[in-house]
Amino acid sequence: MIAVIGDPETATGFRLAGVNEVHEYGTEGGEDVARVLDKLAKEDVAIIIINERLAAEEKSREKIMEINAKKKGVIPIIIEVPDKKGPMVKEIDEIGRLIKRAVGVAVK
C-alpha cells in the first residue's frame, strides 16, 4: 500500500492518481505528521510519500530517522517529494542512505 502526507496540492494530485491513504496538512504539520508517520510505519504501508517541507520539520525529521533506523529491511520506503515551490536543498540524502543500506554501496 502507498500512503501520502502532503500539502493540499500534493494531496489532491495523489488522490486524483488513485491513492486512498492521503493525509493533508498546511505548511506546518508538527507533531501530527510525526504521529501519522509512526502509525503508517506500524501498518502494512510499503511506500510513504511525504512533502519535503513537512519532512524538514524537526519532529518529522526525527521520526523519519527513527523509522529508518528501526526497520529491518527496506520497508517502509519514505520518499520525500518537492511541493509547488520546487525542491529544497538537503543536507542528507535519505534515498541515497537507503540505497547504500540495501545494496552496500553508495550510488551517485
**Residue % of the chain over a pLDDT of 90:** 31
Note the maximum CA span of the chain: 37
Beta strand pairing call for 21-24 and 2-6 = parallel
Categorize the per-residue pLDDT at 5 as very low, low, confident or very high, splitting at 50, 70 and 90.
very high
Contact 5, 25 (CB under 8 A): yes
Which domains does the chain carry?
A: 2-103 (3.40.50.10580)
Residue 107 has pLDDT above 70, yes or no: no
Can you tell me the distance from the alpha carbon of 104 to that of 98, in angstroms, rounded to the nearest whole number?
A: 9
